[in-house]
Amino acid sequence: MAKVLIVANWKMNPATYQEAKSIAEMTKRAAGKNKGVSVIICPPVVYLRELARGSRSALFGIQDLSYEDGGAFTGEISARMAHSAGARYAIIGHSERRHSGETGEVIAKKIAAALLARLTPILCIGENVRDNAGDYLSTVRAQLMEGLSEITSSEIAKVIIAYEPVWAIGKGAADAIVPADLHEMSIYIKKVLAERLDRGKALKASILYGGSVEAENAYAILHHGSVDGFLVGHASLDVKEFPLLINAVA
């Protein structure tokens, strides 16, 4: 059976390297005890190399990258730099980045740049609100198609899709999506992917869910929501909660 993928998105936390180290150690311990899960820690980039060094029980990723390969781009990090610091995954197009102005076109270029540097892209998509007319489906479809527009179909098969409805991010377990709605969304995403991939490959695509996943709701969402794992924000920084979450899905 394929391993359940749990991606820890630390966002701009914690404030010091000491805290980062202890959260990473806790995460590696919990991951090491549960063979059925694969845990990917995405810390702020200043902590990446140090935390990733010699790590066997957890893999590492970056929360964003530049699509440029190098040069006069103050403050930016390239995909190759991230790879050389120990990242093997890259979260791209997170809603918090889209909110600060990142366009679909830029996201598509970042996905291509990540693949070129041998990073597995985790493309984040998700609507701001759910409306009765089903406009949220068009939003998800457009974000997906746009994000994958710069790569070939054989490359698309390597991309992990993270469905993160913005209305469910950063709240509590009770505010996460209900598993039946996620099940439907997972089918819809595969149907859209089948426009670019052959059906068999589209059905096998890795889909994660993100938005208020905690130890309490993780098992139900995973098993009834038809996803391959989670992108976890606040719960991944909680040294008590996160091991419980990992155990719950393993």
Active site positions, annotated: 94, 164
> Sign of the CA dihedral 145, 147, 153, 157?
negative
Under the binding rule (CB under 6 A), the answer on residue 31 touching ligand PGA is no
**Cβ atoms within 10 Å, residue 2:** 10
Under the binding rule (CB under 6 A), the answer on residue 226 touching ligand PGA is no
Cα–Cα distances in Å, from 160 out to 7, 60, 95? 11, 15, 16
Interacting span for ligand PGA (CB under 6 A) from 18-26, 49-57, 147-155, 232-240? 232-240
Q: Which is nearer to ligand PGA, 124 or 202 (CB)?
A: 124
Among 8, 9, 79, 205, binds ligand PGA (CB under 6 A): 9
Among 211, 225, 229, 243, binds ligand PGA (CB under 6 A): 211
Under the binding rule (CB under 6 A), the answer on residue 234 touching ligand PGA is yes
Closest CA to 7 of 37, 44, 32: 37
Rounded to a whole number of angstroms, the minimum distance from the CB of residue 199 to ligand PGA is 29
Query: 246 φ, ψ to 5°?
Result: -60, -45
Helix (H, G, I), strand (E, B) or coil at 221: helix
Among 213, 218, 221, 246, binds ligand PGA (CB under 6 A): 213
Of all residues in the shown chain, the one whose CB is closest to ligand PGA is: 233
* Nearby residues of 24 by Cβ (< 8 Å), 6 or more positions away: 41, 43, 47, 51, 55, 58
Q: How many residues bind ligand PGA (CB under 6 A)?
A: 13
* Nearby residues of 67 by Cβ (< 8 Å), 6 or more positions away: 79, 106, 109, 110, 112, 113
Rounded to a whole number of angstroms, the minimum distance from the CB of residue 186 to ligand PGA is 17
Under the binding rule (CB under 6 A), the answer on residue 210 touching ligand PGA is yes
Q: How many CA atoms lie within 13 A of 101 on its CB side?
A: 0
Rounded to a whole number of angstroms, the minimum distance from the CB of residue 210 to ligand PGA is 4
Q: Which is nearer to ligand PGA, 82 or 202 (CB)?
A: 82
Query: 52 φ, ψ to 5°?
Result: -80, -20
Rounded to a whole number of angstroms, the minimum distance from the CB of residue 211 to ligand PGA is 5
Q: Which is nearer to ligand PGA, 175 or 195 (CB)?
A: 175
Under the binding rule (CB under 6 A), the answer on residue 164 touching ligand PGA is yes
Whether 6 contacts 55, CB under 8 Å = no
Rounded to a whole number of angstroms, the minimum distance from the CB of residue 168 to ligand PGA is 7
Whether 207 contacts 227, CB under 8 Å = yes
Interface with ligand PGA by CB under 6 A: which residues?
9, 164, 169-170, 210-213, 231-235
